[in-house]
Amino acid sequence: MRPLIHPAIEDVRPEAILHALADPARAAIFASITQAGCVQACSAVSSLGERVIPKSSLSAHFKVLREAGLIRSERHGVEMRNHSRCAEVEARFPGLLSAIMNAYAGAKGCEAAAP
Amino acid sequence: MRPLIHPAIEDVRPEAILHALADPARAAIFASITQAGCVQACSAVSSLGERVIPKSSLSAHFKVLREAGLIRSERHGVEMRNHSRCAEVEARFPGLLSAIMNAYAGAKGCEAAAP
DNA sequence: CCATTAGTTCCGAATTTCCGAACTATGGGA
DNA sequence: TCCCATAGTTCGGAAATTCGGAACTAATGG
């Protein structure tokens, strides 16, 4: 079990953030962590939409979010707690995260209106 | 030569935009098109930074930007003119493009300060 | 009609992503 | 203490993407 990698906020790169959030599943996971008081166990997220995401894929998604600097993960006993780093990222790249999350929210609303 | 695909603005997906701009080369191309009065020939962009981008890769980059809804390309004689669709995209996803471009601009300044 | 310029398409190699199976780490009993 | 259950990570091979050189197409100008 290698130690978890958390880049310092000044090492966080925009392309890593965009790449991480370019996947709707990861964006949904990040939104969930950010909204749910910044704490969430991995498996509390495993049923996003109707798609079942296998554990290994989920673990990889968390790793991408972590190494992009979007979340911070720490073990608490047997489970992992994930905190959103949105405040830090927002300070470094003002408006970025909110614009991205609004874009997803907006697009979701539109497509639901066209059955 | 298949016809160029330009999605309607209401069909533009956030994940496509993030994916397109998650590549620094594409983000630079898009910034260049947007800033240069919204018109640019493909090869006017071919030497970004010090990296030489082969024609085929450049063509693929333009295709990704086009199909993400970020640019509009039309033939004018032998050359292709690319217009930024930033106004349309900005209307649909407010703040998204400016936040992304600012993030890249900010990150570039910071890393240049650490040799 | 041929040459040139600008860009696209094709295709094989390299890279990345996906996911099941095996593994590791931690805590809680018996 | 040993074993089990839970939570997540790592491995490895298949599938999907991306990269880039070579060949191709389209328009223009001798």
Sequence-ordered list of residues with C-beta below 8 angstroms from that of B58, at least 6 positions apart, any chain:
B42, B43, B45, B46
Residue nearest to nucleotide C10 (CA to C1'): B56
- Residue B48: the pLDDT is 67
- Residue B37: the pLDDT is 62
**pLDDT tens across B57-87, in order?**
999 999 999 999 999 999 988 889 999 999 9
Residues in A closer than 8 angstroms to B103, CB to CB, are 14, 17, 93, 96
Low-confidence ranges of chain A (pLDDT < 70): 37-40, 42-44, 46-50, 109-115
What is the band of B42 on the pLDDT scale with cuts at 50, 70, 90?
low
Q: Residue A81: what residue type?
A: R
Cross-chain Cβ contact B94/A99 below 8 Å? yes
**pLDDT tens across B11-37, in order?**
999 999 999 999 999 999 999 999 886
Give, as ranges, the nucleotides of chain C with any atom within 7 Å of a protein CB. Answer: 5-10, 17-22, 24-27
Query: Domains, chain A, ranges and CATH?
Result: 12-107 (1.10.10.10)
- Residue A114: the pLDDT is 43
In terms of DSSP bridges, do strands B47-48 and B51-52 run parallel, antiparallel, or are they unpaired?
A: antiparallel
Cross-chain Cβ contact B99/A102 below 8 Å? no
The separation between the first and the last C-alpha atoms of chain A, rounded to the nearest angstrom, is: 46
B96: contact with A, CB 8 A cutoff: yes
B45: contact with A, CB 8 A cutoff: no
A94: contact with B, CB 8 A cutoff: yes
- Residue B115: the pLDDT is 38
